[in-house]
Every structure is written in structure tokens, then in C-alpha cells.
DNA sequence: TCACCTTGTGCAAACGATTTACTTTTTTTT
DNA sequence: AAAAAAAAGTAAATCGTTTGCACAAGGTGA
């Protein structure tokens, strides 16, 4: 059996309440008593039972991250890991633990969230994505649980969230291609349910429109955030009579697939097809050729979002949407004139 | 205030104990009562308080993963994510949650573990690495907490763990280079404190010895599991009078750095320097050239280790060491005769 | 009919902390 | 030196469950 607060109290010749106050550094406790009790805690190797503590304090010092749908698939995308790195950094700094949970479908996800929230297992949570008409967001608002979104809610304006200006980001990326003289620019996109996808699509079409360039529906392919998606998209998009000569790709990992697909079809990059993508994961600079990518400050996104949740837990009322700046990192994959190494 | 078991009891006109028994599907409860109580639970949106539950049951359905030292750095290596994917898959399957925690140095790590274990916050845990004379392992054995290691303990024989046969893996990798006619084979290694590093080093030297090839100390460079490590290693290793013509690299990410370093120095791969590395992360096939890598079944490693912990929680006594098979995946980076695409 | 199961339920004591409201002791003020 | 105020500590209630034991009612075998 573990050593409890009573054991410490008995050995120190004081009441449990006193020990509790010593732990909490309560001012009512004399220097001398405090010292003695602490010594005994040390001696007995006492550590407070966190469950008992949570039960009475209604607090757990734990934040949950909900892993969407097929967590396994999702986690194949390094973007999320970089995000989690940021989250973890902020949470450990603040002395919070991170709980990862999920479900295998939307229904199960909601059940998990309900279990954790109603069950009092967590103090707040973080959603790593934002899709339209999400029942989880609805639930969390009703329960008034501190939570923040990475991305933005398509349903509610005032959900605390951390996001990029994805419209502008895609606008910049597309304009970069246009500046390189590209005229036939396609888009390999993600699930259209996601806000991020919709925003980037909008920036893309805005740039095309302003430049007076055509947006052909056959140049736009939808997929998942997976390598295979990009890979498969190439077969279809390049087989049409007049294929694009440049592609905006929703995500680096997808772009890796695009690269692989194009290589197999015998296209050279960037000479035949230029590529720009998003997220700028570490490996974007290691492919051949290195990929031009919009750095969205992924780590910052996670770090800031956690900070937001932590603030909300401290009763700070937040309904803000915070924007993390992006930055186009130009590499070989998008350049018209290239001198190969 | 949340709805408690008492609220349900009152509304159903039964005692809290009865409600508790309904939840647990106790056989002594009548069909009729059970039905009525369940109906009311549904109606009130009742969810049991997990903290109270844990307090009395001394169980949390949570497994912790301890992130070593500078978690931030560590997480730059994709190997760990693949590991965590496996862990997560197993845990969610079994209805367990995953808690991630860590510290910024060995001392803090131990404190975190102590807090979680003594504080009763977790049912078991998983260590993602194994270094020599680790105080955490020592602590966990004393406390008799269910835990498993990925890798193997250098201090104790009987620590439940899941590992590869790293000696054999490195032996195979090195022999592959030898079979390609390589005579001057170097090794870019990881922290020598880790069992994995030591084992691979051994397999490497064994293969060289058997083939009657020299092992020059100046061909062996130690580093971290980081891209920079591999990158920096190249400057020193290639500047010597008789540099190696082939390299065994401890990890794919490090190999990425190696590739980058060699490219900058003007070496061609594999014509000038052949490369073999370990872990076979998804991106190993996307670099230019694609990297020959030993697939160690990373996902399996995580999956199996979690399973082991779960079994131990179910009182199954485990002191076994389980070996996950490895497999050399040959790609361009190691081949002597190459026809470029 | 009686002693004895079986079945269904309730009471109350844990689990290990925190916290409110008191009590006791010491110090200060007048 | 008495009264008031401050300091230090305690007892007991509470958080929301589970569970051992008691008990009532109905059924069974002799």
C-alpha cells in the first residue's frame, strides 16, 4: 500500500490538514512545522495521490488532444507531429500532461470527448483540425470546457482558435508561380470539408483571377493528406490533353507523392512541372529537388493554441482568433531557370 | 455541477449502490431495475466521474509514455512517431488512453515518473529507449509497476522489452555493403550510451572482422539522432587522407543529414559513397537517391510493447524479451552499379 | 412447517486528498 | 493585567465512486 497523507501526519505528530497545508505552502503554517513535515514527506517518499487531489479540486492538470478519425492515417502526416511538438513544449513548461485520445469514427470521437469531459478527466482540450458542422465543437461550447482549435471553425465565429491566413498563404504561393511565368496552374487539394482546404482553394483562385489566368476544374484534384493521394492524383491530372505546367499542393507529404508520381511518368521538376506546397516540414528541403513550401509556423501553431487553452483554464475569457504568420520558402521545385548541382 | 450517481439514484428511486451495480453489470441486479436505471442515466446524460472511480479502483486505464530528455529534440526523429503510432493503435484498441510526459533532464524525468506512479495516475508505462544505468528502470522495478522497454536494458536481463536483433541487423547491413565490393566502410553512430547503438556497432565490427576488413577508428563518428549530426559528421570524416567509400548510418534522419553533407562536399551517391541506414522511415524512399535502410518494424515495436504492458496489467507475469524481425530494404543509395532515371 | 437458499437491494465504510469552521495558543494593545 | 487580535493547528465534511455486509421476500426440500 502506498504512503498517504495520514501516514505523514501521524509520523509528524500533526493532523492531515496541516500536512495538506504544508504541501500547498499555506501561510498559516509555521516555518518550523513546515520544515519538519517536509522532512518526513521526503523520508517516507510521500507523493500525493493525484486522483484524490483531482476529485476534490476538480482539476487534473491534463490537456487532451483529440486525434481525428483514423488516427493512424492522420499520424502519417508529419505536420501533426510538428504541431504536437509545439503543444508538448508549452504544456510541459506549464507543468501539464498531455493525454492523447481518439476514436475510429466521428461517433466514437464524440463519445471519447464526452467521457473525458463529463468524467472530469481533463481540464481542457485541443482540436487539431476543423471541419464543418462538427458535433464535438458544438458539445464543447455547451459544456463550457476550455478548448481551442487549430484552424478555424466553419460554424461559429467566436471559437478560440489559432490559425494561419490560409487564403493569403495560398494567394502568395500561387502568385509565386505566376511570377515565374506559369500560366497553367493546377491544385492538388485536401478534404474539402476542412476549413484549411477551403481557404487555400480560395487564395488560389483569387490569385488566378487577378492574373487573368484560367481555373480549369480538371486541374483541381481532391485527396487526403497522404503520400498516396499525391501519387495517385498525378496519373489522372497528367493524362488530360492539356495538363497543367505547375501545381499548388496542399501539403508537403502530398507533394512527396506528387514528386514520386511525376518522376514515374517521366516528368522533370521543375522544368516540366513546377511545384509549390504547404507546411514546410523538415524534409521538404531534402527531396530531389527540394520543395518550395509555405512555412506556416507549425510548431508555433501548437505552442500558441496550448497557451490559449491554458489561459482559458485560468479563467481568462478568450474568444479570439489568433493568426500565425506564414512565409514562403523558395526552393528549386518552383523555379523556372535552374542550374543543376 | 455535473450529474452524479446520486442524482441518478434519486430519480430512479434506488440507492447509489444499485446504480453503481447497474453500471458494472452486476448479476444480482434485476432486468427491470437495470433497464430503468439505464434509461435514466441516458436521460440525465450521466457519465461516471473517472477520478472518483480511479480513486477507489486504483486503476486509471491510462498508460504513460516517457519522452526522454530534450523531448523536443527527440521528437525531431520520425522513428519515435512511428513508434507512437503503434502504441496508440494498440492502446485505443484496448480502450486505454495515452499520457505523454517528460522532463528536461534525467533528474526531472525521474521526478515525473515518480509523480505519476506514486500519484497513481497511470496503470503502466512505456520507455522508448534504453540507456545504461537508468535510474528510472531501477525505480520502476522496485515499485513493481507494469512497464516495458523498447530496446533492451543494459543493466538487467529480465526487464520486459521489445527489441530488434540489432547486432544481426547491423551485421546484415554491413555485409550488404561488403557484397557490393566495398572495402572501406565507416559508421555514423548514435549516443554510445544507448543499447541500440552498442548493438549495431557490434554487428558492424563483426561483419568487418569476418570479411577481414579493417575497422579504422577515424571512420567511426558519434552523434545524436538528428539531421545536423549526420550533416556535421561528413565534414570531419571526409577530410581525412583516406576516407571511407561506404557508410553505415545509425538512423534514416541522420542519413538525410549525411546525404546533405556529402552533396555539399560534391560527392555523388552511391558512386563515390554508398549508404546504408536503419529504421526505414517512410521518407527513406523519397530522397535522392532513395536510401537503403533496415526496416526494423517500428510500428510493430510500439504495438507489441504496449500489448506487453497491457498483459502485465492483467497480472500476466512477463519477464520476456520479444524480438521483432528486421528486413533490409535495398534502394539506390547502396548499389555499386546504377542506372540513373 | 421450518430451516435454508436465492435473489434483489440498501447502508455505510472505504479510497486519499482539500477546505470550512472552529479551537487553542501566543502575541499585542490598551 | 485584561481584552483583543493574530497565529497555528485540528476535526469533520466533502468530492463521487465501489463494495462487504445485512436484510427482506420469496422459493425449495425435508
- What average pLDDT does range A190-200 have in this prediction? 91
pLDDT digits (tens, 9 = 90+) for B300-319: 999 999 999 999 999 788 88
Q: Which three cell numbers stand for residue B335?
A: 548499389
CB B251 within 8 A of CB B281: no
Domain boundaries, chain A: 5-48, 62-164+299-326, 166-295+328-334
User: Hey, which residues 198-257 in chain A have their CB within 8 Å of chain B?
Assistant: 227, 256
Q: Residue A21: pLDDT band by 50, 70, 90 thresholds?
A: very high
Crossing angle for the helix pair B16-23 and B31-44, to the nearest 10 degrees: 90
Alpha carbon A335 to its chain centroid, in Å, reads 30
Nucleotides in chain C near protein beta carbons (<7 Å):
7-12, 14-21
Report the residue of chain B nearest A291, measured CA to CA: B287
**Predicted local confidence at residue B339, as pLDDT:** 43
Report the residue of chain B nearest A289, measured CA to CA: B288
- What average pLDDT does range B132-150 have in this prediction? 91
Residue of higher predicted confidence among A338 and A230: A230
**Predicted local confidence at residue A338, as pLDDT:** 46
Of B78, B260, B286, the CB nearest to A78: B78
pLDDT digits (tens, 9 = 90+) for B192-246: 888 999 999 999 999 999 999 999 999 999 988 888 889 999 999 999 999 999 9
Torsion sign (Cα): A160, A164, A165, A166: negative
**Residue B8, pLDDT above cutoff 90:** yes
Instruction: Establish whether the linkage from the previous residue to B289 is cis, with ω within 30° of 0.
Output: yes
How many residues in chain B? 341
- What average pLDDT does range A161-171 have in this prediction? 97
| Contacting residues of B for A254, CB less than 8 Å apart | none
Fold category of B5-48 in CATH: 434 Repressor (Amino-terminal Domain) (1.10.260)
- What average pLDDT does range A283-297 have in this prediction? 90
The residues, any chain, with a CB within 8 Å of residue B297's CB and separated by 6 or more, are B164, B324, B325, B326, B327
**Predicted local confidence at residue A69, as pLDDT:** 61
CB B81 within 8 A of CB A83: no
Same fold, B62-164+299-326 and B166-295+328-334: yes
Burial class (CB in 10 A: 0-12, 13-18, 19+), A140: buried
CB A125 within 8 A of CB A64: yes
**Residue B45, pLDDT above cutoff 90:** yes
Residues pairing with B102 in the sheet: B67
| Contacting residues of B for A67, CB less than 8 Å apart | 88
How does strand B147-150 pair with strand B161-164? parallel
User: b/e per residue, B116-131, with b = 16+ CB within 10 A?
Assistant: bbbbbbbbbbbbbbbb
B100 and A88 in contact by Cβ < 8 A? yes
A55 touches strand D (CB under 7 A): yes
Q: Which three cell numbers stand for residue B46?
A: 450521466
B261 at A interface, C-beta within 8 A: no
- What average pLDDT does range B145-171 have in this prediction? 94
What's the gap in Å between the CA of B85 and the closest CA on chain A? 6
Q: For chain B, percent helix, then strand, then coil, each to nearest 5?
A: 45, 15, 35
Ordered DSSP codes for B81-142 = HHHHHHHHHHHHHTT-EEEEEE-SSHHHHHHHHHHHHHTT--SEEEES--BTT-HHHHHHHH
Ordered DSSP codes for B223-250 = --SSHHHHHHHHHHHHTSSS--SEEEES
**Predicted local confidence at residue B338, as pLDDT:** 46
Alpha helices in chain A (DSSP H): 5-12, 16-23, 31-44, 50-57, 71-74, 78-93, 106-118, 135-143, 166-179, 195-211, 227-238, 252-264, 298-313
Which of A64-73, A107-116, A179-188 is predicted most confidently? A179-188
Residues pairing with A277 in the sheet: A293
What's the rounded Cα separation, in Å, for the pair A136 and B50? 20
Fold category of A166-295+328-334 in CATH: Rossmann fold (3.40.50)
Which of A97-101, A219-223, A325-329 is predicted most confidently? A325-329
To test the contact with chain A by mutation, choose from B72, B97, B257 the residue with the greatest count of A C-beta atoms within 10 A, namely: B97
B55 and A50 in contact by Cβ < 8 A? no
For chain B, give the percent of residues with pLDDT over 90. Answer: 73
How does strand A147-150 pair with strand A161-164? parallel
**Residue A175, pLDDT above cutoff 50:** yes
Report the residue of chain A nearest B72, measured CA to CA: A85
- What average pLDDT does range A234-261 have in this prediction? 93
**Residue A228, pLDDT above cutoff 90:** no
User: Hey, which residues 65-124 in chain A have their CB within 8 Å of chain B?
Assistant: 67, 71-72, 75-76, 78, 81, 84-85, 88-89, 92, 97-104, 114-116, 118-121
pLDDT digits (tens, 9 = 90+) for A24-70: 999 889 998 999 999 999 999 999 999 999 999 999 999 999 877 65
The residues, any chain, with a CB within 8 Å of residue B246's CB and separated by 6 or more, are B177, B180, B182, B184, B185, B186, B273, B274, B275, B276, B334
What's the gap in Å between the CA of A225 and the closest CA on chain B? 14
What's the rounded Cα separation, in Å, for the pair B265 and A276? 27
B283 touches strand C (CB under 7 A): no
Of A72, A85, A97, the CB nearest to B72: A85
| Contacting residues of A for B288, CB less than 8 Å apart | 287-288
Residue of higher predicted confidence among B277 and A81: B277
pLDDT digits (tens, 9 = 90+) for B57-106: 999 999 999 877 654 555 567 788 888 889 988 998 899 999 998 777 88
User: b/e per residue, B174-203, with b = 16+ CB within 10 A?
Assistant: bbbbbebebebbbbbbbbeebbbbbbbbeb
Residue of higher predicted confidence among B286 and B208: B208
What's the rounded Cα separation, in Å, for the pair B274 and B176? 11
**Residue A339, pLDDT above cutoff 50:** no
**Residue A171, pLDDT above cutoff 60:** yes
Interatomic CA–C1' length for residue A216 and nucleotide C14, angstroms = 71
Q: Name the residue with cell 512477463.
A: B318
**Residue A75, pLDDT above cutoff 60:** no
Q: Residue A337: pLDDT band by 50, 70, 90 thresholds?
A: low
**Predicted local confidence at residue A90, as pLDDT:** 93
**Predicted local confidence at residue B331, as pLDDT:** 96
Report which of A269, A289, A292 is spatially closest to residue A341, judged by C-alpha positions: A289
Residue at minimum CA to C1' distance from nucleotide D7:
A28
What's the gap in Å between the CA of B37 and the closest CA on chain A? 18
What's the gap in Å between the CA of A259 and the closest CA on chain B? 8
**Predicted local confidence at residue A340, as pLDDT:** 42
Which CATH number does A62-164+299-326 carry? 3.40.50.2300
What's the rounded Cα separation, in Å, for the pair B108 and A256? 39
**Residue B341, pLDDT above cutoff 50:** no
**Range name among A131-140, B46-55, B140-149 with the lowest pLDDT average:** A131-140
Q: Residue A319: pLDDT band by 50, 70, 90 thresholds?
A: confident
Amino acid at each position: 500500500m502506498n504512503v498517504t497523507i495520514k501516514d505523514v501526519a501521524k509520523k509528524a505528530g500533526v493532523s492531515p490538514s496541516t500536512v495538506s497545508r504544508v504541501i500547498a505552502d499555506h501561510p498559516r503554517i509555521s516555518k518550523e512545522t513546515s520544515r519538519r513535515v517536509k522532512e518526513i514527506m521526503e523520508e517516507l517518499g510521500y507523493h500525493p495521490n493525484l486522483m484524490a487531489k483531482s476529485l476534490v479540486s476538480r482539476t487534473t492538470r491534463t490537456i487532451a488532444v483529440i486525434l481525428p478519425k483514423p488516427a493512424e492515417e492522420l499520424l502519417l502526416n508529419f505536420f501533426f507531429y510538428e504541431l504536437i511538438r509545439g503543444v508538448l513544449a508549452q504544456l510541459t513548461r506549464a507543468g501539464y500532461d498531455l493525454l492523447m485520445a481518439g476514436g475510429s469514427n466521428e461517433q466514437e470521437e464524440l463519445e471519447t470527448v464526452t467521457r473525458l469531459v463529463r468524467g472530469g478527466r481533463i481540464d481542457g482540450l485541443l482540436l487539431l483540425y476543423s471541419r464543418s458542422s462538427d458535433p464535438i465543437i458544438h458539445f464543447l461550447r455547451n459544456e463550457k470546457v476550455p478548448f481551442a482549435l487549430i484552424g478555424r471553425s466553419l460554424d461559429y465565429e467566436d471559437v478560440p482558435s489559432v490559425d494561419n491566413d490560409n487564403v493569403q498563404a495560398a494567394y502568395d504561393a500561387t502568385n509565386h508561380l505566376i511570377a515565374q511565368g506559369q500560366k497553367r496552374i493546377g491544385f492538388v487539394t485536401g478534404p474539402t470539408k476542412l476549413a484549411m482546404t477551403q481557404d487555400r482553394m480560395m487564395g488560389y483562385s483569387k490569385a488566378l483571377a487577378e492574373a487573368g489566368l484560367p481555373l480549369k476544374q480538371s486541374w483541381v484534384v481532391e485527396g487526403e493528406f497522404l503520400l498516396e493521394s499525391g501519387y495517385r492524383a498525378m496519373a489522372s491530372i497528367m493524362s488530360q490533353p492539356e495538363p497543367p505546367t505547375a501545381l499548388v499542393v496542399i501539403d508537403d507529404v502530398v507533394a512527396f507523392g506528387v514528386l514520386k508520381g511525376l518522376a514515374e511518368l517521366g516528368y522533370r521538376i521543375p522544368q516540366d512541372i513546377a511545384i509549390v506546397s504547404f507546411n514546410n516540414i523538415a524534409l521538404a528541403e531534402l527531396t530531389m529537388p527540394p520543395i518550395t513550401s509555405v512555412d506556416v509556423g507549425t510548431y508555433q501553431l501548437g505552442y500558441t493554441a496550448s497557451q490559449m487553452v491554458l489561459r482559458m483554464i485560468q479563467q481568462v475569457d478568450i474568444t479570439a482568433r489568433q493568426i500565425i504568420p506564414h512565409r514562403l520558402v523558395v526552393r528549386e521545385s518552383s523555379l523556372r531557370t535552374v542550374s543543376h548541382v
